[in-house]
Amino acid sequence: MEVLKTIDLNKTFKIKSLKISAVENFNIEINRTDFFALVGESGSGKSTVAKLLTRLIKPESGRIFFKENDIWKINGDDLKNFRKSIGLVFQDSYASLNPRMKIIDIVQEPLKIHKKFKVYEIKSKVNEILKNMGIDEVMFERYPHQLSGGQRQRVAISRALILEPELLIADEPLSALDISLQASILNQIIEIKKTREMGILLITHDLNIVRAVSNRLAVMHLGRIVEEGQTKSIFSEPLHPYTKKLLNSIPDFQRRNRPKIAKISTENKLCWILKGCRFFYRCDYRMDICKDNVPQLKEIKNRKVRCFLY
Ligand SMILES: Nc1ncnc2c1ncn2[C@@H]1O[C@H](COP(=O)(O)OP(=O)(O)OP(=O)(O)O)[C@@H](O)[C@H]1O
Ligand code: SF4
Ligand SMILES: [Mg+2]
């Protein structure tokens, strides 16, 4: 059964005179067994999706279900349970860690907020998760500024995992780190996933990571999912022209140090005002129909593709 499901989510932003559909008719279902990857170049709406799914921002329309519950219609214990069940990690862990708190307090805080745990349970859970995430005991009493970037990210992930969430949403959690650190942290997350039922939604620009760890993949382009399916089959036979381009330009796509909120390029400005397919100007296969008509997601070969070629 799915942990999280969305129905026709929409979120627009107005930037000067331009109204953009950062997330448009967005449908996704994530199961507890999934390692789901969401990719797309800068400005495609991935972080906006992460914020919508975690109730950080409200959609203009559409619904988000956590198990059976609409996350905007719950309150009290159900809302508390939702917050407990979704772990969230962003790229910039430094900003999310309270600089005046010691590492051990940062990680145990969610357990204290949820009040259901005895002191010895808190201690053992914190020890276990920090150990599993590769944080040495000598670090426990330190403050965030005394840690390296990699250690801080391990702490942020430990904090997100401490309540044993049913879904971990990680938005570029590793992109500020060097490759060997990325691999080690990712392996630790995978080991933890093996010990509990936890779905993962990973937002990343690293297609090598996507290929290595995810079982399902959605590709976003300017607010719309253009292809979704099993990671393996998309890598072996990408169908959407944008997915093809993306997989052919791996190093270019993996550029680091993007701004927190994507900037709109001049090229994309033109695409946003197009009535039809927003990939039109860059597409080698474009046809007359594509300019003024929005292609719908179609089921084909066990996946969904949004393109008039199919
Ligand atoms: N708070 C905001 N105010 C105005 N526009 C926003 C805001 N947040 C996002 N946007 C716009 O919405 C679009 C999607 O942005 P978003 O940050 O979700 O993209 P992204 O896929 O996460 O990009 P990146 O890969 O660079 O992180 C962009 O055009 C961005 O400019
Ligand atoms: S709908 Fe048309 S323009 Fe868009 S990706 Fe398909 S062929 Fe290209
Ligand atoms: Mg982003």
* Residue in 4, 11, 21 with CA at minimum distance from that of residue 64: 4
pLDDT digits (tens, 9 = 90+) for 1-31: 799 999 999 999 998 888 899 999 999 999 9
Name the residue at shortest CA distance from atom 1 of ligand 2.
Answer: 307
pLDDT of residue 270: 81
Pick the residue whose CA is nearest to atom 7 on ligand 2.
Answer: 286
- For the chain, the helix, strand and coil percentages under 3-state DSSP, each to the nearest 5: 40, 25, 35
Structural domains of the chain sorted by starting position, each given as residue range(s) with its CATH number in brackets = 2-306 (3.40.50.300)
pLDDT of residue 39: 96
Q: Is the CB of 264 under 6 A from ligand 1?
A: yes
Q: Supply the residue whose CA is at minimum distance from atom 6 of ligand 2.
A: 307
Index of the ligand 1 atom closest to the CA of residue 50: 18
Q: How far is the CA of 284 from the centre of ligand 2 (A)?
A: 8
Provide the 3-class DSSP secondary structure of residue 108: helix
- Measured in angstroms, how far is the CA atom of residue 38 from the centroid of ligand 1? 14
- Which-ligand-closest: CA of 239? 2
Query: Which atom of ligand 1 lies nearest, measured to the CA of 57?
Result: 1
Say which ligand is closest to the CA of 298: 2
What are the tens digits of pLDDT across the range 222-253?
Answer: 999 999 999 999 999 999 999 999 998 766 55
Closest residue by Cα to residue 234 from 252, 221, 216: 216
For residue 23, give the ligand nearest its CA.
1
- What's the rounded Cα separation, in Å, for the pair 189 and 157? 9
Is 0.75 surpassed by the pTM of this model? yes
Q: Which of 12, 226, 261 has the most ligand 1 atoms within 8 A of CB, as the residue to mutate?
A: 261
Res. 116 pLDDT band, cuts 50 70 90: confident
Mean pLDDT throughout 27-41? 96
- 42 alpha carbon – ligand 3 mean position (Å): 7
Task: Give the distance (Å) from ligand 2 centre to CA of residue 48.
Answer: 24
For residues 291, 296, 297 and 299, what is the CA-based torsion angle, rounded to 10 degrees?
A: -110
CA of 176 to the centre of ligand 3 (A): 13
Angle at 55 between CA 52 and CA 57, to 5 degrees: 60
Name the residue among 24, 9, 7 with its Cα closest to residue 58.
9
What is the Å distance from ligand 1's center to 135 Cα?
A: 33
Structure token pair of residue 139: 């670090």
The partner residues of 220 in beta bridges, in order of sequence, read 225
pLDDT confidence of residue 260: 60
Least confident interval from 44-58, 77-91, 95-109, 178-192:
178-192
Lowest-confidence pick of 49-58, 169-178, 226-235, 300-309: 169-178
